[in-house]
Structure 1
């Protein structure tokens, strides 16, 4: 059979507590007064929670207890100030409108993102169309310059043939010019 040992704590050694004191030129301060927890009366039934439901510490609506050792329950009235304030603040905030506004914000954000993507697609389409339009315009300008060059060459060729015909056949040219006057000669 195994032996069981019980542990018995020994009492701490006692030391002499007499400590010699030095004389000080300063007068000792009086010890601070014990802290007192302010208490308020419990909320009245049917009272509505407003912004003035939390009284300030200087408003005088707090009653301090005459006893020096108060428990965490708040003294004579039995109401804990922190618990009361916590309850009032939790009742003051209605989470339903906040939830609704968050949902609406998420919905609006999604709509804005969709519109932003749509705008980016339209912008890309417009840039592609602008690029193709510029290419078509450049091709049209090139074709117009070629046509102008061909017309100038043709005009020179017609003028050269006209002067040759006028010199080679002067009588026939005059009679044809009287019958069919040229708009260029004017």
Structure 2
């Protein structure tokens, strides 16, 4: 579809079909020159679906993203395809090398980050395994300490009972030995 912006109404010829178009359309403070449409067939209808009369044409305005569709190059001025023209201009002015370098750098940085992330995960797994081993060793150490304490308590009770029996059975020798070799708990 071909769209022209206009600020005023166009006259519709009332007799002999004759093409009439203003030479300039104004929009704000700038003026645009417009070529006449290339398809002047009498059977052409306008963009609104209403049949045109004679060789006149319909001028409609459209906002970007409207349901009227994309730009149609068949009715462009002087046979210039606007899409092709804009692509050529963009290709001539756009240098993809910095974008390619940036993309390569981004991919390289992403690769380094992924490698470091994997390395951190491996180190974390190793640290967790070491922590589990340390906890198991600590639990085993606690169990061993309880056993040693129980053994010491049993030995202390046994020594105390033997001491009591020896002091009753051999009281004179016990007191004499005690004076000669005093007990460390008397200090």
Q: Same fold (TM over 0.5)?
A: yes
Alignment pair present for 1:125 and 2:95: no
Correspondence for 1:64: 34
Correspondence for 1:74: 77
Correspondence for 1:166: 167
Q: Secondary structure at the match of 1:181?
A: coil
- Cα displacement (A) at 1:147: 0.6
Correspondence for 2:110: 109
- TM superposition score normalised by structure 1: 0.58
Using the alignment, how far apart are the partners of 1:169 and 1:61 within structure 2? 134
- Cα displacement (A) at 1:99: 0.4
**Structure holding more strand per residue:** 2
Using the alignment, how far apart are the partners of 2:28 and 2:80 within structure 1? 19
Structure 1: unaligned runs, 5 residues or longer: 1-29, 39-56
Q: How many residues align?
A: 136
Using the alignment, how far apart are the partners of 1:157 and 1:34 within structure 2? 129
- Cα displacement (A) at 1:88: 2.8
Q: CA RMSD in A?
A: 3.5
Alignment pair present for 1:150 and 2:120: no
- The verdict on how the C-alpha distance between 1:132 and 1:31 changes in structure 2, with shifts beyond 3 A counting, is farther
Equivalences for residues 1-186 of structure 1 within 5 A: 60=30, 62-65=32-35, 67=36, 69=38, 74-75=77-78, 81-186=82-187
- TM superposition score normalised by structure 2: 0.58
